[in-house]
Amino acid sequence: MKYFVTIGGREIPVEVKGDRVTVAGREYQAHLAPVPGTPLRQLLLGDRSLTVAMQSGGRGAWRLESRGLRLDLEVVDERTRHIRDLAGPGAGRTGGGQVRSPMPGLVVRLLVEPGETVEAGAGLVVLEAMKMENELRAHGPGRVTAVLVAPGQAVEKGQPLVELAPLST
């Protein structure tokens, strides 16, 4: 079976045939063994050794943790990839101009109002979490179309806070 693994914005094709895998143009003997009672799996790729914590998110989504790096990977087979390609680029993306809370916390101050134009890096909302005030900033220039929270409000991770529209230049 041929898989396409998306990792850190890159797509890496991996062909799996029994205990042999072909990746980056080379064939290896490979063995992945779960460590009982732990989220760990031990990979031998040729004689290279690597232990990774792995968690399945279903539908080909995998979260890997290795040496403190946490990585979300997606594994699809050839057929699924083909269907996706037909659906066109960008299909499935959500959230366009919404600034979401990157963590649970408390809204301390709003730094913008609807209608206001902001530059890249401008502060939007001050959020308190773990005893620190954190200023959330705009990734690019835009116009505030909606403010979705109020000071004093508790917010969840991922909750939309502010909506920005791109500047029409």
Partner 1 sequence: MPFRVLVANRGEIALRIIRACHEEGLEAIAVYSDADRLSPQVRAADHAVPIGPSPPSESYLRIDRLLEAARRTGASAVHPGYGFLAERAAFAQAVEDAGLVFVGPPARAIRAMGDKTEARRRMQAAGVPIVPGLTVPVTDPDAARRAAAELGFPVLVKAAAGGGGRGMRVVQAPEELAGALETAASEAGKAFGDPAVYLEKYIERPRHVEIQILADRERTVHLGERECSIQRRHQKLVEEAPSVALTPELRQRMGQAAVAAARAVDYRSAGTCEFLLAPDGSFYFLEMNTRIQVEHPVTELVYGVDLVREQLRIAQGLPMRVPATPLAPRGWALECRITSEDPAHGFLPSTGRIEYLRVPAGPGVRWDGGFEVGDEVGLHYDSLLGKVVVWGATREEAVRRMRRALEELVISGVATNQAFHLRLLADDAFLRGEFASQFLDRRPDLLAAQLSDDQMTALAVAAALAEDEARAIRKPVVGDEIAATRWRLAGLWDGLRG
Q: Identify which range of 89-97, 113-121, 131-139, 158-166 contacts partner 1 by CB under 8 A.
A: 131-139
The least CB distance from residue 20 to partner 1, in Å, is 11
The least CB distance from residue 49 to partner 1, in Å, is 4
The least CB distance from residue 111 to partner 1, in Å, is 11
Among 27, 78, 85, 103, binds partner 1 (CB under 8 A): 103
Among 27, 30, 82, 88, binds partner 1 (CB under 8 A): 30
Residue 70 or 117: the one with the smaller Cβ distance to partner 1 is 70
The least CB distance from residue 90 to partner 1, in Å, is 23
- Residue 117 binds partner 1 (CB under 8 A): no
Q: How far apart (Å, rounded) are the C-alpha atoms in residues 13 and 66? A: 20
Among 27, 50, 119, 158, binds partner 1 (CB under 8 A): 50
Q: Which two tokens stand for residue 84?
A: 């996706």
The least CB distance from residue 60 to partner 1, in Å, is 6
Is the distance from CB of 125 to CB of 111 less than 8 angstroms?
yes
- Alpha carbon distances (Å) from 53 to 40, 44, 69, 111, 130: 4, 14, 10, 40, 27
Total residue length of the chain: 169
User: What letters, b where the CB count within 10 A reaches 16 and e where it falls short, cover 63-95?
Assistant: eeeeeeeeeebbbbeeeebeeeeeeeeeeeeee
- Residue 122 binds partner 1 (CB under 8 A): no
- Alpha carbon distances (Å) from 105 to 88, 100, 132: 37, 12, 10
